[in-house]
Chains A and B, each alone.
Chain A
Amino acid sequence: QSALTQPRSVSGSPGQSVTISCTGTSSDVGGYNYVSWYQQHPGKAPKLMIYDVSKRPSGVPDRFSGSKSGNTASLTISGLQAEDEADYYCCSYAGSYTFRVFGGGTKLTVL
């Protein structure tokens, strides 16, 4: 099962906005509203940032938002802060055989 496609890296300056894309197929991202996004700092466990395409768990700043169009989901981080520098992974439900698939991860650098 191929991973969802994410850009290897993105960057932005403090205060700017960045968007990370996550491209799949109609069998995963496009077929279900079960896309989630995870933030992982070096040496730490992943942390849920967005679920069900665009919902934010309690405690996640509203600078983080998610959306989906067709087979591509997106994570947008506005008002970039230094602590946002991390790896970000998307994940989608992919049906009752594969069940779920992760993206390859995107390294966000805050310049």
Chain B
Amino acid sequence: EVQLVQSGAEVKKPGESLKISCKGSGYSFTSYWIGWVRQMPGKGLEWMGIIYPGDSDTRYSPSFQGQVTISADKSISTAYLQWSSLKASDTAMYYCARLPSAMANFDYWGQGTLVTVSS
């Protein structure tokens, strides 16, 4: 069974750094892309970027380029999304999801990680 299990909810202060994770299981982690999707409170889905764990090829949405860093550790089948300096506007639910190819759909989703940034 394909599963993506994300790390738990986080509460941070503005300016702090953060790295959240997404662990894949039940499939060949290095053969599929992993993407990250933001959902701000009461809002829609926004694509942030994708990574191919096999070779760490990474593509970012122009809206998120330079704002976050996506990485992966294939030895532990885990992808990451990180911020170096959080802002209050980063408060959102973040989902990871698997993609069969860089152009394709998100076929399996993680349960989401709620990030709250507040002073």
Contact = CB atoms under 8 A, between A and B. Distances in A.
A15 interface: no
A69 interface: no
Interface residues of B, number: 23
A99 B44 contact: no
Contacts of A3: 44
B95 interface: yes
Contact of A45 (B103, B104, B110): B110
A47 B45 contact: no
A49 to B, nearest CB: 10
Given A89-B44, A91-B47, A98-B61, A57 B95 contact: no
A34 B97 CA distance: 16
Interface of B: 37, 44-47, 50, 59, 61-63, 95, 97, 102-112
18 contacts: A32-B103, A34-B104, A45-B109, A46-B95, A46-B109, A47-B109, A48-B105, A48-B108, A51-B104, A51-B107, A57-B107, A91-B106, A93-B104, A97-B62, A99-B47, A100-B61, A102-B44, A105-B44
Interface of A: 1, 3, 32, 34, 36, 38, 40, 45-48, 51-52, 57, 89, 91, 93, 97-105
Given A36-B104, A99-B50, 8 more contacts: A32-B103, A45-B110, A48-B108, A51-B104, A51-B105, A91-B45, A91-B105, A100-B61
